[in-house]
Structures are given as structure tokens and as C-alpha cells.
Amino acid sequence: MNRLLFLTVLFGLTLFGQQKKTLGPEELWQMERLGTYAVSDDGLKLWFSTTKYDMSSNKGNSLFYYYDLSKNELKNIAELSGAGSPSIHPDGRLNFLKDSQLWQADHDGSDAKKLTDIYSGIDSYLMIPGSDKIVFTSAVYPDCDDQDCIKNRDEEASSSKVKAEIFTELLYRHWNSWRGEKRSHLFLYDINTKSLSDLTPNAAYDVPPTALGGSFDFAVSPDGREVAFSANKTKNPSWNTNNDVFIIDLTDPEFEHKMISTGEGNDNQPVYSPDGKYIAFKSMRRPGFEADKYEIIIYDRKTGINKNITSDIDISAGDIVFSSDGSFIFFDAANEINNSVYRINIQTGETDLLIKERVNSDLKLAAKVGRLYFKRQSTISPVNICYYDLNEGKINPVTNLNEEILSKIGMNEAETFWCEGAEGAKVQSVLIKPPYFDQNKKYPMVFLIHGGPQGHWSDDFHFRWNMQMFASRGYVVVAPNPRGSVGYGQKFTDEISGDWGGKAYTDLMNSYDYAVSNFGFIDKENTFAAGASYGGYMINWIAGHTDRFKALVSHAGVFNLESMYGATEELWFPEWEFKGTPWESREIYHKWSPHMFAHNIKTPMLVVHGAFDFRVPEGQAFELFTYLQRLGVKSKFLYFPDEYHFVTKPQNALLWWNTVLGWFDEHNSNLQGK
């Protein structure tokens, strides 16, 4: 390279670096977030929704786009703002939900018209092939026979001066909402005749299931004559995971249900093969364990025989999609810090890794052109849509949301390192360096602990626990995946159950010690730790077991295992994790409960919790903060009366980030006095 060219390049890089800024909470909340999407069978047309948040109004606004890939034309359809759940009618028209009703428009979004006017609304839907009928889910009173009954009951409840409720069973609330008397039922609706049939009449259960399920938990056969769905029909869904898969013959006027799954674990996500020969669904073998390996089961509709095609691979399946000829299934799965994409032969079980890197999800097949579409993200880029060319074996980006914002922000790619954990296990950690990193400088460290505990830190762009945000403040981020993490085989995941503060704690501390000993750019005198949910539990456990950190942040953390059991909603979780109820396994509950070691706490702690967190109820934070204050430990409590397990409102999130980062800065000795 000649000298003039070298100086020109150097000047350009320097100027580019000077122009870029670090990521802040405001920039994070300016970014457009991808929602649902649909793709045409020829792979040349794309429809998707996004959400853009406005800090001044403190809410999100939904946008809707049409993308003609053949012309490279992207159109924001203002008339369809607020639309979502797009799907493509066989004639090429666009179906979508808006204001909880089904609408239809031309492929470019023009000539939109509402197709339904159902009082209870539509939560999720599927078109019946070859007809103008749909199946959909909607929350209704189980004993109501028609929509007028539902409307009258709602009006009575709204006008009543008494808001009290009487409960006679558990699961009266879930996640962040009170269940009330309504249940989500599955309906059949004829758009032309306006006839409505409840396919789960009088059911006291939900379709899709209240827990361990989703909008993907029902499907329609290619000939339109059958529906498959997942539901937990047991009388005690609060303490079991027994979702099952059922089928309904739509030509049967009685709509009888036939169960096709056989286990007592979690069975869900039925998918028909394009030729109609098979139904594939996901299945967990062990009852009561929500993080068991997801097997892929193939149900032969002719013989009624189930076949497990993933029993020989140590991979837990995510979304499943049939190939156009029904010979293969594409699925995504956690794979170390990635969420990879695989293809499995349904006859032989032979499995190929198609896409390893990054976090890939929400698979959709454009069969005519051999394109597998999916969402893709990384630590330096929020979610976009890409496709994998099955003929060329190549990934092609499609959307480029937030390009302008990202081009002005300096971020470093995620790196990883491995160390030896408890009992010689190999433990992987994510490492992110601050923008404009200087190898010769010393940086404080933020040590992040993920929730679950059966989760993992991955190469994703997290809008709540965004690792780049911590790095942008000048901290090296270390985020380990200790025992219990997914993506490292089922044995590794299993080994946290009944051992919450054991091997996982050793894995974490070994990762910490490895980082401060081997990376000279980490200032070991200025290290901090934070976590949420199980990560919050581990922060509380760490507080009573080590003084390695200058300050801690416990968000929605479990503090008292026994009182937590009496207030949480999904009882199968603590009963699996701690080998029974508190009266059956009190020794384990006490052994691993952070409150039993609270007298050892000396490290300053910030406690964060939301009032509508029914998974880890707010009482856990109240107990923790009381202990900290009574012990004289420097502490602060950030309480959100309008949030739940997550902080989702823009201005609340801004306060969260400023409080958390401010807490670290306050205890960073290099910043004190500045």
C-alpha cells in the first residue's frame, strides 16, 4: 500500500471512529423491533410488522411493511399500522389481524376489508385450505354458548361495584395477569355464512395451553378436514406439564377429540406434512420438567404409530418446519451461544447442521424456490429477516432494520472463552469489550448471570439485558453459561436441578477467576455482578458466599425458596427443581435458599422488582430489601408498580438502565471523586 493511500485510509478510519458514539438507553429504544412476518411461496414477497417506541408518549407504535424482493421495493403501509400475524391466502391475498379481527387485503396492502366481527376477538388464527373458513383461538366463558352471552357477562362484570373473585383452584393467575373465569377456546368460523363453532365447548382448559405453549399450538391438515391442537386437560395444570396433542375431524359434527401423544411430559407444536401423511410434534419425556430435551415425534396418520426421530441426538428442538416433499424437517435449537438451524431426515434420523452461528429462529419455507426464511440477530445487530438458499447453501440478508442508527454506534463483536467448571466440566463464557478498546488499559468488569436457570447467554441483541449497553459504559462484560444452561447437551442442563447453589456457583466463580487472572485488561479491584430471575437468585446466593464484587444488582431474584413456593404460579417448577414440595423436601429448600445465608451479606446491593411479577412474586424483593436494611448493608430498592418480570415501558426502562449503570458507577473506585 502506498503512503498516500495508507494515510487516506487511516484518516478515514480515525474520522469514522470519531463520528461513532457508544450505545445509550435512548438509542436502544429508538430501534425498530421486528414482529411477525409472512413470505410468499415463491419467496419474492414479504410482509412483516415492527414496533417503534416513542419515549415522550411512553408507548410503542406498530408499523406494517410490504417488501417486493423482485423489485427491491420496501413499502410502509400506513393504512395497516397496528396489523400483525400476516398470512398468505392461496390466491395471493394478504390476511392479517388488526384490532383482534381478521382482515384481508391485496398483496400490496390495498383494498383492505374486515372479514370478522367477533365480540370475543381473535388471538391467533389459521386459514382452512381450499375454503373461506378459519380456525382461531379466543378467550371466552366456558359455559357461554354464544357471543351474546360473553358480551353480557363482560358488561355485568364491568358495571358491578364488587371486583372481588372467589378461587377454587390454583393457576388463578399466570405470568403477569389474573386468569379470571375465561379460557382460551379453539373455534371454527365460516367467513361467508358467519357460522361459528366452538371446537372445545365447555372446556375448563386453554388452547393453546396457559403455560409451555404458544400461538403455534394448533395446525390444520392440508386437505382442511382436520385440526391438531395442544392442551393440558388435567385437573391440576399448576403442578404438571402434561400438555398433550389432540386431533379433531372437522367433518364430524360432534368434533370429537382424539389424543395422539402418549407421554405425561410436555407435548406441543403439531405440524402437518405437506402431503398430509404425518403430524410432527415436539415432546418432552419427563413429567414435571419444563426444560427437558424436546424430541421430535412423527405421528403416522394412517397407522396411528408415533416415531421418535431425535432420540439419538443430544439436541433440543425449537421451531419445526417440514420440507416441501415431507422427507425432512428443519428445526432450530440452542447450540452453545448460538441458536442454530438443522435438517433431519424423518426416515433415517440423519441430521445436518445447516446454519451454526448467530441466533436464528421463526423458520418459514418458501417451497417453490428452495428458500428457508428465518429471523437472525447477534450482539451487534437486532433481529432482521434472512433466508438460507437450500440449493446454494448460502445465507442471504433480506431486511436491514436500524441500519442508520447502527452505523453511528461503535460496538465490538462477542468473543468467548472456556474454563474448567465443577467436576471438570467445560464452561463457556461470552466476553464483550468496550467500544474503542485499548489492550493496554484496565477496565472494570460487569459479570452477568442469566435466568432460567435453563437458559443461556447467546449471540443476540437483547433489548432488556443488552450486553453492549454495559460495554458502552466502559465495562468489560463477562457472561458465563454455567451448569443448567441450554445448548451444551441435556446432561449439562440437568445438573442444576436440586443443586441451585452447587455446581453452577462453582462454574460461575471459576469463570470469574479465570477472567480476572487471564485477561490483564480487567481491573480485578472493580468488578460487579448482575442477574435476573434465577440470575437474581444467584446474585442473592453470591452475596452470602463471596466478597469478590464491589456491588451487586438483583432483578426479580428468588430470595426465600420456601415462601417463593407458596406464591408462584407454576408449581411444577419448584417441585422439580427442589425434588418435591417444601414439606417433602424441606432440607433441599433450606440448603439452597439465599435467605439462610443473608447474615453473611456485606456487598452493596441494588434490588429491582415489578408488582405484576407472578413468576417470582414481589414478596421476594420485599424480604430481601428488609434483610439488607436490617443488616446495615448499603442497598437501594427500585420498585415498578406497573411492570412484571420484565421492564417493558420505555420510560421505566430508561430509569432501569440509568439506575443500574449508576449503581455500578457509584461503586467504581476509578470514578469516585470525578
14: pLDDT strictly greater than 50: no
- Mean pLDDT, to the nearest integer, of 490-494? 98
Is residue 105 within 8 A of residue 113, CB to CB? The reply is yes
Q: Distance between CA 647 and CA 488 in Å, rounded? A: 29
Residue 426 has pLDDT above 50, yes or no: yes
* 567 pLDDT higher than 50: yes
Asked which of 14-28, 319-333, 352-366, 385-399 is least confident by mean pLDDT, the reply is 14-28
3-class secondary-structure state, position 338? strand
pLDDT at 15 over 60: no
In the predicted model, what is the mean pLDDT of residues 243-256? 97
If one counts every other C-beta atom within 10 angstroms of the C-beta of residue 58, the result is: 13
Q: Which of 422 and 9 is assigned the larger pLDDT?
A: 422
* pLDDT tens column, 42-68: 999 999 999 999 999 999 999 999 999
What is the distance between the alpha carbons of residues 85 and 36, in angstroms, rounded to a whole number? 6
- Spell out the SS3 assignment of 524-574: EEEEEEEEECHHHHHHHHHHCCCCCCCEEEEECCCCCHHHHHCCCCCCHHH
Please give the pLDDT value at position 10.
36
Q: What is the pLDDT of residues 500-557, one digit of tens each?
A: 999 999 999 999 999 999 999 999 999 999 999 999 999 999 999 999 999 999 999 9
Q: Measured between alpha carbons, how far is 41 from 249 in angstroms, rounded to an integer?
A: 27
Instruction: Please give the pLDDT value at position 91.
Output: 83
What band does 215 get if pLDDT is binned at 50, 70 and 90?
A: confident
Neighbours of 156 (CB within 10 A): 9
Give residue 431's pLDDT. 98
pLDDT of residue 437: 97
pLDDT of 475 > 50? The answer is: yes
Give the pLDDT score at 12: 37
Of 90, 96, 115, nearest in space to 222 by CA: 90
4 pLDDT tier (thresholds 50, 70, 90): very low
> At residue 308, does pLDDT exceed 60?
yes
Number of C-beta neighbours around residue 569 at 10 A: 18
Residue 153 has pLDDT above 60, yes or no: yes
| 121-130, 206-215, 314-323, 589-598, range with the lowest pLDDT | 206-215
Q: How far apart are CA 575 and CA 581, in angstroms?
A: 5
Binned at pLDDT 50, 70 and 90, residue 6 comes out as: very low
Fill in the amino acid letter for 671: L
Count Cα atoms within 13 angstroms, Cβ side, for 281: 33
pLDDT at 303: 98
Q: What is the CA radius of gyration of the chain?
A: 26
Q: What pLDDT, on a 0 to 100 scale, did the predictor assign at position 17? A: 47
- All three cell numbers of 672, joined, read 469516585
Residues 15, 23: Cα–Cα separation, whole Å:
18
Q: What is the pTM for the complete model shown?
A: 0.95
Mean pLDDT of 261-266: 96
CA separation for the pair 470, 477 (Å, rounded): 7
**The pLDDT of residue 13 is above 50:** no
Asked if residue 242 lies in contact with residue 254, where contact means CB atoms within 8 angstroms, the answer is no
User: Is a pLDDT exceeding 60 seen at residue 11?
Assistant: no
pLDDT at 76 exceeding the cut of 80: yes
What is the average per-residue pLDDT within 172-185? Answer: 96
**pLDDT band at residue 673 under the 50/70/90 scheme:** low
- For residue 7, the model assigns a pLDDT of 32
Give pLDDT, residue 90.
Answer: 81
Question: What gap in Å lies between CA 174 and CA 211, rounded to an integer?
Answer: 8
Look up residue 390 and give its three cell numbers. 437450500
When the pLDDT of each residue in the chain is averaged and rounded to a whole number, the result is 95
Cell of 379: 450482539
pLDDT for position 92 = 86
Query: What's residue 18's pLDDT?
Result: 54
Span 576-622, pLDDT tens digits: 999 999 999 999 999 999 999 999 999 999 999 999 999 999 999 99
Distance separating alpha carbons of residues 208 and 231, to the nearest angstrom: 6
Query: Cα(286)–Cα(295) distance, rounded to whole angstroms?
Result: 11
Ordered by where they begin, the domains of the chain are 34-115 (2.40.10), 117-405 (2.120.10.30), 411-667 (3.40.50.1820)
